[in-house]
Every structure is written in structure tokens, then in C-alpha cells.
């Protein structure tokens, strides 16, 4: 019998990318052939995003596009996995009959068996959505003993199954670049009023340090030179392992992994950033980069969001980071139009943005997410007001980011070359996160995967041009 083929189509964030590579590792270990194009696969697995409406629409479009292949190509089945599949389960299956099955996170450990059953025509009964926070103990330190599956925490292959080389990591890379995400944890214990993620991702669960290190070594053997540590909240790492300072211990160990030249930390909660963590992030081998989840700068709005901080506290935090790493990059995301937001609140956010000198900023207009506290709040703003504020703040951050890039002309940067664009080597400098921030183009040839020390000679919007030194 010929071997079955499967293609994984990934939408959403870097955390989803890790989850797809866990699924790929499981499938490859069980005899499936992985292909890049869904048209060449017996089964197309779409790893969906369920964060905001635009992401949900993209996920549905990807499922419908894959379903069309069943009429004209090799594809026999289309399967939805990921956050949208977990969040809506049987509801999504009923609304989208074009998908042959909707699998939840609890199906990941037996994904090969599930796909073979679907291909055989046995189908699959989709799960009924539930709040995954209720599936683990309330006490973080009691969670390690739970057998509940957590996406991206496949960790080790079962006995008798091993990859061709390297440690027994349950992951199969779906790309070949020199940068890869590395999952620290899944889930979140915070209760931000606008966010539905904890309900379908579950309570916070850290991966054990030895598992993170084993996967980092494996990635380095695959040619990765920079790992990006991802989770819903990296600054909480270790709290369920009995060590809230576990990240301070882990980072120096990661930077010592042979072959890894840079470790980047993402998704930090300002309320949890400790002086000791800032000290370690200023160390050798850690990217000079602070990804801080501010969301707004007006104290009253942040309280309604069930968040910490205000303009002055956030500026103080940025000042502490820059005191340790003067040329560090900083990025954040912001929501405008939250219920009860006033013109004075928007003006306070704009004041913060001007003074903060962030390198990269994402701005989102608020919309209700079912199951969140925000959806129940009074004082909702009209849609046209939210859109106007979104456009207004969006124009400001575009201008500010371009100004910040221009300020970097003359600085020395370390660029990791990812690819060639328009004949020039291109990749992120230390202060630029891959895929989400700007990039730096070099004026002289350099091979993908190489680190190049260069001096910035020009800026083009948020992007930089640098001359090797």
C-alpha cells in the first residue's frame, strides 16, 4: 500500500507554527509523508487561528480553499485543527461542512490515527467546546502532574520511535530558515477583559527546562542560529514549576547551546518584568529586544481591561531596560476603542507613544469577543468612532516607527541573513523580531544563515539599510 501524504497549512502566530511542527513530527514518526502543497496531499490539515474576527475569516477561507482541491486534485480530506477548531468544535463543523473533520487539542496525541480513520470514511465526532482553564488544577504548581495534552508540548517521541538524528524531540521542521520559534509555555492565567485566549488555550503550563534545552539543541543541529522563545506570557515561565525566576536561569543555558548565536524573548507582561530578568536579558547572546504587552497607556482604560500600569510606569520600565541595553529594540501592541475610552484616554495613549520611542507597534480597533468580560461592559463606542481612532493612532505609530528607524542611522547592528530580496541579503537585526518588525538589507553579499556586523546607513520606513564593517 502506498504511503499517505499530508500537508499542514498554518495560520496565526509563531505558537501555531510550533504546534504544526509537533503535528508534523507525530505524523512523520507514524509513517506519513509530509508535502508542502495541499494539492499534493491526501489530507490537508489547516491549523487555524481563533484570536480575532479577521483571523477567523482567514482560517475559514483557507479551509474552503483546501476543500476546493477535493474536486480537482489528489486531496481526499480537509481537517481543521488549532485555536479556532478548539474554540468552536462542533459548532464550526456544523457551519462548515466542507471540512471533513474538526479536531481539538485532545486529538493531537493520536492525530495519525484520527487522519487514517477520516480517510477510511469513519469520520470524527467533533468535541463540544469548553473552558480549558477548568481542565487543570487552579494551583499552578499542581499542574505538572496532569496528563492533559497541551499543544506544542509533545516533548519526546515514544519509545521505539526516533528521528534520523539528534535528540528524541517530537517536532519536524516545516521550513529551512536560520530562525525558529521555541515554545516555553502554553495557556494564560491572566484575565484581561478583551481576551478569549485563556478559555481555549487553557491555564498556564510551562515546559520543563530540560525539554526546552533539548529542543534548542535539536534546532541548532537543523541549522537554526536564532530561537525565538514564544508563549502567551513568557514572563510567567516557571511559576507552575515552583520557580518564578526560571527564565533567568534558562536564558544563559540557552545562549550556551552550540550553534545558537541569538536567543530572543517575546511576549512579556509589564507587570511581571523583574529587575533580575532585565539583567539577564542584557547578557551576551540574548537579542537586545523587549516585547512588552502594554495594550494602552491610560490608567483608567487599563483598569477596565484588568491590566496593570499607566504612561509613567511604562516609561519607567522602558527606561530601566534601556539603561541596561541602550540600543535595544522595543515593540508593543495597543487596543483603541475599548468600552468607556474617552478622548482624554486616546490623548494619553498618544503622549505615551511619542515619548516611548518604540521600534514597532501594532494597533487594533476593539471588537467584542464572545465569552469575554469586555463583551458585557457598558459604554460601548460606536463602530465609526472605533475605526476613526484606529486610523488616527495607526497613522501616528507609522510615523513614529519610521522616525525611530531613522534615528538608528549610524548605529552598529548584527544582522542574521534570512534570504535575498532584490539582490540584497535581508534579515533581522538584533532589535527587529522576525516576521513582525522591520528588516535590515545589507549593501554587500552575504550567505543566508550568516551573522553580519554592519553600520546602518539609511532607513526606508521601518526598514534599514546597513553596510558591513
Mind giving me the DSSP string for 407-461? Answer: HTTT-EEEEE--EEETTEEEE--TTS-TTTS--EEESS---TT-EEEEEEEEEET
Grid coordinates given for 181: 520559534
Window from 156-170, 254-268, 333-347, 399-413 with minimum mean pLDDT: 156-170
The pLDDT assigned to 152 comes to: 57
Tell me the average pLDDT across 110-114.
Answer: 95
| 36, containing H or E segment | none
Q: Count other C-beta atoms under 10 Å from residue 413's C-beta.
A: 22
* 186-210 confidence digits (pLDDT tens): 999 999 999 999 999 999 999 999 9
Contacts of 18 (CB under 8 A, 6+ apart): 152, 171, 181, 182, 183, 230
State what percent of residues in the chain have pLDDT above 90: 85
What confidence category does residue 160 fall into, taking pLDDT thresholds of 50, 70 and 90?
Answer: very low
Mean pLDDT of the chain: 92
The pLDDT-based confidence of 156 (bands split at 50, 70, 90) is very low
Residue 351 marked in a binding site: no
- pLDDT band, residue 145 (cuts 50/70/90): low
69 is annotated as contributing to ligand binding: no
Whether the predicted pLDDT of 151 surpasses 70: no
- Give residue 158's pLDDT: 40
Question: For residues 203 and 149, which has the higher predicted lDDT (pLDDT)?
Answer: 203
pLDDT tens for 62-96 read 999 999 999 887 899 999 999 999 999 999 999 99
Domains contained in the chain, CATH given: 5-126 (3.40.50.12160), 165-408 (3.80.30.20), 411-468 (2.40.50.140)
Helix axes 246-255 and 209-221, enclosed angle (nearest 10): 20
> Can you tell me the distance from the alpha carbon of 183 to that of 216, in angstroms, rounded to the nearest whole number?
10
Residue 55's Cβ-count burial label (10 Å; 0-12, 13-18, 19+) is middle
16-48 pLDDT, tens digit per residue, is 999 999 999 999 999 999 999 999 999 999 999
| Average pLDDT rounded to a whole number, residues 382-407 | 98
pLDDT greater than 90 at residue 140:
no
User: Which comes out higher in pLDDT, residue 161 or 323?
Assistant: 323
CA distance 8 to 17: 10
pLDDT given at position 143: 78
83 is in an annotated binding site: yes
**Cα 170 to Cα 22, 105, 181, distances in angstroms:** 6, 16, 14
In sequence order, the β-bridge partners of residue 466 are 442, 456
Report how far residue 54's alpha carbon sits from residue 11's, in angstroms, rounded to the nearest whole number: 12
pLDDT of 356 strictly over 90:
yes
160 Cβ contact list (under 8 Å, min separation 6): none
According to the annotation, is 13 in a ligand binding site? yes
Strands 185-186 vs 179-183: parallel, antiparallel or unpaired? unpaired
d(Cα 426, Cα 405) in Å, to the nearest integer? 16
Other beta carbons within 10 angstroms of residue 57's beta carbon come to 11
What pLDDT sits at residue 135?
Answer: 83
Residue 149 in this model has a pLDDT that exceeds 70: no
Question: Is pLDDT above 80 for 147?
Answer: no
Alpha carbon distance 240, 409 (integer Å): 43
195 is in an annotated binding site: yes
Which of 166-175, 342-351, 380-389, 454-463 bottoms out in mean pLDDT, i.e. has the lowest?
A: 166-175
User: Torsion angle, CA of 207/212/213/219, rounded to 10 degrees?
Assistant: 170
Residue 169's pLDDT is what? 74
Is 49 within any annotated ligand binding site? yes
pLDDT digits (tens, 9 = 90+) for 210-229: 999 999 999 999 999 999 99
Give per-residue pLDDT as tens, 421-465: 999 999 999 999 998 899 999 999 999 999 999 999 999 999 999
Amino acid at each position: 500500500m502506498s504511503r499517505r501524504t499530508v500537508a499542514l497549512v498554518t495560520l496565526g502566530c509563531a505558537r501555531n507554527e510550533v504546534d504544526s511542527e509537533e503535528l508534523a513530527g507525530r505524523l512523520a514518526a507514524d509513517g506519513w509523508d509530509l508535502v508542502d502543497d495541499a494539492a499534493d496531499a491526501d489530507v490537508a490539515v489547516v491549523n487555524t487561528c481563533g484570536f480575532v474576527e479577521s483571523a477567523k475569516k482567514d482560517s475559514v477561507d483557507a479551509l474552503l480553499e483546501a476543500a476546493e482541491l477535493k474536486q480537482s486534485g489528489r486531496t481526499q480530506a480537509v481537517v481543521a485543527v488549532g485555536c479556532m477548531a478548539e474554540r468552536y468544535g462542533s459548532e464550526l463543523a456544523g457551519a462548515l461542512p466542507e471540512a471533513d473533520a474538526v479536531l481539538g487539542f485532545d486529538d493531537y496525541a493520536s492525530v495519525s490515527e484520527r487522519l487514517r480513520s477520516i480517510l477510511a470514511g469513519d469520520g470524527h465526532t467533533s468535541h463540544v467546546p469548553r473552558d480549558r482553564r477548568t481542565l487543570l488544577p487552579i494551583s499552578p504548581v499542581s499542574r505538572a502532574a496532569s496528563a492533559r495534552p497541551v499543544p506544542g508540548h509533545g516533548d519526546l517521541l515514544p519509545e521505539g520511535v526516533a528521528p534520523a538524528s539528534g535528540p528524541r524531540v517530537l517536532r519536524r521542521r516545516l521550513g529551512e530558515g536560520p530562525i525558529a520559534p521555541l515554545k516555553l509555555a502554553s495557556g494564560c492565567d491572566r484575565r484581561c477583559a478583551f481576551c478569549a485566549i485563556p478559555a481555549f488555550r487553557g491555564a498556564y503550563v510551562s515546559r520543563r527546562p530540560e525539554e526546552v534545552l533539548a529542543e534548542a539543541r535539536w534546532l541548532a543541529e537543523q541549522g537554526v542560529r536564532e530561537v525565538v522563545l514564544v508563549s502567551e506570557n513568557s514572563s510567567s515561565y516557571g511559576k507552575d514549576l515552583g520557580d518564578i525566576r526560571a527564565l533567568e536561569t534558562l536564558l544563559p543555558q540557552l545562549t550556551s547551546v552550540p550553534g545558537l548565536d541569538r536567543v530572543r524573548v517575546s511576549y512579556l507582561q509589564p507587570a511581571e518584568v523583574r529587575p533580575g530578568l532585565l539583567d539577564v536579558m542584557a547578557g551576551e547572546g540574548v537579542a537586545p529586544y523587549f516585547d512588552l504587552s502594554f495594550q494602552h497607556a491610560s490608567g483608567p482604560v487599563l483598569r477596565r481591561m484588568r491590566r496593570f500600569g499607566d504612561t509613567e510606569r511604562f516609561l519607567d520600565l522602558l527606561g530601566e531596560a534601556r539603561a541596561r541595553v541602550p540600543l535595544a529594540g522595543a515593540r508593543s501592541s495597543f487596543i483603541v476603542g475599548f468600552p468607556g475610552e474617552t478622548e482624554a484616554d486616546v490623548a494619553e495613549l498618544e503622549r505615551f507613544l511619542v515619548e516611548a520611542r518604540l521600534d514597532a507597534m501594532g494597533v487594533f480597533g476593539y471588537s467584542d469577543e464572545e465569552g469575554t468580560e469586555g463583551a458585557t461592559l457598558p459604554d460601548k463606542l460606536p463602530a465609526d468612532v472605533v475605526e476613526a481612532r484606529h486610523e488616527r493612532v495607526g497613522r501616528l505609530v507609522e510615523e513614529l516607527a519610521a522616525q525611530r528607524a531613522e534615528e538608528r542611522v549610524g548605529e552598529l547592528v548584527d544582522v542574521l541573513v534570512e534570504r535575498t530580496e532584490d539582490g540584497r541579503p535581508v534579515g533581522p537585526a538584533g532589535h527587529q523580531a522576525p516576521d513582525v518588525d522591520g528588516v535590515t538589507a545589507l549593501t554587500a553579499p552575504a550567505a543566508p544563515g550568516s551573522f553580519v556586523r554592519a553600520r546602518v546607513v539609511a532607513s526606508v520606513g521601518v526598514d534599514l539599510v546597513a553596510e558591513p564593517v
